[in-house]
Chain A
Amino acid sequence: MTDMIKLSAATLSGLLTDGSVSSVEVTQAHLDRIAAIDTGVHAFLHVSGEAALAAAARVDARRAAGEALGPLAGVPIAIKDVLATIDMPSTAGSKILEGWIPPYDATVVKRVRDAGLIPLGKTNMDEFAMGSSTEFSAYGPTHNPWDFDRIPGGSGGGSAAAVSSFEAPLALGSDTGGSIRQPAAVTGSVGVKPTYGGVSRYGSIALASSLDQVGPVTRTVLDAALLHDVIGGHDPLDSTSLTDAWPSMAAAARSGLADGALKGVRVGVVKELSGNGFQAGVAQRFTETLALLAAAGAEIVEVSAPNFEYAIAAYYLILPAEASSNLARFDSVRFGIRVNPEGGPLTSERVMAATRDAGFGPEVKRRIILGTYALSAGYYDAYYGSAQKVRTLIQRDFDAAFSKVDVLVSPSAPTTAFKFGEKMADPMAMYLNDVTTIPANLAGVPGMSLPMGLAPEDGLPVGLQIMAPAKMDARLYSFGAAVEALLEASWGHTLLSQAPELAPTEMYTNAVFTSTEGAV
């Protein structure tokens, strides 16, 4: 069945359950796809073929023995390299962790394995999730399946490219300021950042602890919901994990397919996240989507979130501050590479410094320096303290908006996928790409990106961002599934069906892009 790789996880689930296909067949089909095209896409940093087939065979055996398995048992999944995996290297895209195999699984990885999903390998990312393009991966960038000259988004470009190029039906991502949603937008896939605390962070290599959240990366809203149900819920190993009982996200997604699901839904358009600064085609698709929603009975309401304009500034103080501390542990003493300094005595301090100098890339160093500075005595109140106040104001903006509407919408990113190198020389331009996604992380509210068309000027995917109040992740799925169905009905096909076929012979032959040291 050559089209097996094009099927959604929900469809595969049905075929696996009724015995039409085996997990070994499904897994092999995806491994074949990876072998055929990943030289060009470079979504994976590590592929674990044998272990995947062995895991698939075990699931098949359990199913054959009549064991009742979860809905996603036997379905392959790609795992972002930021997550600790006991049987695969976990580098977070950094040279400093080259070859490091953790002695434990992240909670989400454990849950995925326990649910019978089949890990295929680890996906590429910007080093320590710092970036919006995967250009800051120490192992070379991932290419956008829609156009190999363009970025797949970041930091989770690998996971988004893996699902949008049909190398995996599902992937795990992590989202600190948009690292799930922005790649989903620019690759035409679906990505969800759950409510902060909704999914365990234990075993997720920390970027910014108060912002990081692990979530699903898929091709459909229902698939994201199914995966969310597997990974979500309280974990005693993560103190910030919420103890709430969560409703089934899959049930919520299915409820969104009912007739009239959009009728009377109050949809808030954030004034500050539309209009100026957005690519024309992005703005156009957004406006068209709003019109479709209104026609389907939704009530479109403009809301203002006046403090969102300070979000990027606050984010780029809080994130580097926390990251500078989280990344202090990379010192060569207990794990990772060790680099001895040239000449002079081998003191622990000098070995640490030499290791960090050689092991960290330019963006990581930039943010460590920023964060160290922001936390320094005499600057703390002005920088970190003020940023935390902004955070509170942004939470209040969300509260005020959600008192008027059920969901908020905006374009997921200001532009479609940009070309490699376009923003490497200008960190600020790269940072501004996250303007739409960052507020949700600062407030801890859930956000989703799903495809809303192709920009007329470049034919590249445009994403719609949906945000819901904290803990109302189910609303993202019911509303998201309804919007997805509405859009696909209007197009008469899925967006990804329009993506270029990546023939096995089509190898990426351009010079391998390397991130430039000192691109400040």
Chain B
Amino acid sequence: MRILIVEDEKSLSSEIKHFLEKEEYNCDLAYTGTEASELIAVNPYDFILLDIGLPDYNGLDLIKEAKEYNSEAYFIVITARGELEDKIKGFDLGADDYLPKPFSLLELLSRIQAITRRKFGHQSSIINFGDFALDTTKKHLQYSDKNIDLTKKEYKLLSYLVLNKNRVLDRLQLTEHIWGDFFEDDFDSNYIDVHIKNIRKKLSSFDDSNWIKTVRGIGYKFEI
């Protein structure tokens, strides 16, 4: 997978690159719209992360331009301006997702993965752990063909943990994924823990293994 990161803040784009390269993505950097435009013209990218607040270019024009050369690329628009009209315009012009700054890198990754699954038609949408099977297209969990009743949020939480298996997810990342960038100011409340407790209870009625590990003071980790 080849990704172009169009972001004028060098420090931010290098962090994104660093993170995504660890996830086996090839990343190119463009700091200006002109650079981006040149790179898009010659390289076939799978994804383009685009900060629409570029100094020399209207980021949205870049989408239009890119669509002419490279209709295969998927766009994730990043903005700190949060203009409401731009949000709508972005989608109209073919942006596939939208992330307001600041975002967590894990959330960015999960958006990329979601688009990949959606657009590329992932070979297998079923993830197995033990005798459990998590179907990410049908959005349900089964234990040896037996449906396990999960609430919407429980499913979202569990699938996020499973898709990012063997990685520590902190409470903020989980909150951001489930509740979005909604104005939430009490992170210390334990409602994430309550959901985890409920998921564990539902899993443990089928299987004794402790799939979801608590990482003290930070969050949770799904271990396979």
Q: Do A and B come from one complex?
A: no
Binding site for B on A (CB under 8 A): none
Binding site for A on B (CB under 8 A): none
